[in-house]
Amino acid sequence: MRALTPQAILLLLLSVVVSKAAEPKLETLRAWNDYIGTVKTIVAERNAGSRPFLWVDESSSVTRRRAQDGELVITDHDPRKVPQGLIHHWVGVMFIPSTSLDQVMRVLNGYDRYGDIYKPLIRKASVIEEDGDTVKLNVIAAQKAFSVTGAVDME
């Protein structure tokens, strides 16, 4: 393999185009705010007991049976019409027999072990800040496709 000459390196550096993130359009923000309002209403109804607490309890009997049989059932609750935007809202359920909520929460809150539990996608997770029930994380995720590895360092 040949080494790059200084001219080639300079050409590469000068050819990089700076891109700016686009600001969402007003109608996109309106759809987002409407969606958040809908989700908050559903959560309040679940908490008040006027709606089944678990999503799976208002699903079809086939979906409930799949979950009770130990299958990980995932579905999207994405709003269908978001002008010039997308909202991804995925819901999943799985029944884990002979397991307490405390055991599940220890795994979910064991951020230092995310690299072991959720590999190969998650390489590392660390807590940046905790405030009551809110946790701010730094997560490094990597995915390999067609001999190319891409990594994302996100908060």
Per-residue pLDDT at 80: 76
Cβ neighbours, 10 Å, residue 56: 20
DSSP string, 64-123: HHHHHTT--EEEE---S--TT-----EEEE---TT--HHHHHHHHT-GGGHHHHSTTTEE
For residues 71 and 83, give the distance between their C-alpha atoms in angstroms, rounded to a whole number.
Answer: 35
Domain boundaries, the chain: 24-95, 99-155
pLDDT tens digits, residue range 45-71?
999 999 999 888 888 899 899 998 989
Per-residue pLDDT at 77: 82
Which carries the bigger pLDDT value, residue 79 or residue 73? Answer: 73
Note if the pTM is more than 0.85: no
